[in-house]
Structure 1
Amino acid sequence: MTDKHTHATHPKVISRLKRANGHLRSVIDMIEQGKPCLEIAQQLHAVEKAVINAKRVLIHDHIDHCLDDDAEGHSADMAEFREIARYL
């Protein structure tokens, strides 16, 4: 894929994912150190929520961007809307 497809929220999404990645590394360390399962589960939940929120921001921004393009006379691809919306 040679097309560079960026939106205004991509830096924010990248930041969220990097933070989640750091938390995930911490969870792996916790497991290796034999930390209590409750603490590990809590941290995994935080990682999961961070990834879900990053995904949601990305998808909503993409849909908003496509709707703006459609309002400007560009044809929005409804099949793509249906495809990306299933990930919400």
Structure 2
Amino acid sequence: MSHAANPDLLNRLKRAQGHLGKIIEMVGEGRDGLQIAQQMQAVIAAIDKTKTLLVTDHIEHHLEEVIGPLPQAMRGELAKLGELAKYL
């Protein structure tokens, strides 16, 4: 299975897609701008977290291709790198 097909990643993207559809409905209904902006911020945050997951998973996948299975301690250190990825 491709690391890009991570079930958690796909679920997060599908949820964000559903929320984005709701935002489009809200705009079409002429809903309050503040409510729309709040929903948009929630989608942006969800996408950012999904991007971090993708980058971390990608790094981990390719590290394992080069050096083999990663010990649990190394995965913890890699998680710290994943946190850094959210600023990319």
| TM-score normalized by the length of structure 1 | 0.72
Q: State the secondary structure of the residue aligned to 1:35.
A: coil
Aligned-residue offset at 1:7 = 2.0
Aligned-residue offset at 1:8 = 8.2
Q: Which residue of 2 aligns with 1:13?
A: 9
Distance 1:29 1:8 in 2: 29
The answer to which structure has the higher helix fraction is 2
Q: Which residue of 2 aligns with 1:52?
A: 48
Letter in 2 for 1:34: G
Q: Which residue of 2 aligns with 1:80?
A: none
Q: Which residue of 2 aligns with 1:37?
A: 33
Letter in 1 for 2:61: H
| TM-score normalized by the length of structure 2 | 0.72
Q: State the secondary structure of the residue aligned to 2:64.
A: helix
Gaps of 5+ in 2: 69-84
Decide whether the 8 Å contact of 2:23 with 2:40 is kept in 1: yes
Aligned-residue offset at 1:42 = 0.3
Decide whether the 8 Å contact of 1:30 with 1:40 is kept in 2: yes
CA RMSD, 1 decimal: 2.1
Which consecutive segments of 4 or more residues in structure 1 shift more than 3 A?
none
Choose the corresponding residue for 2:67, options 71, 74, 82. 71
Choose the corresponding residue for 1:28, options 24, 29, 35. 24
Q: How many equivalent residue pairs?
A: 71
Letter in 2 for 1:45: Q
Distance 2:66 2:58 in 1: 12
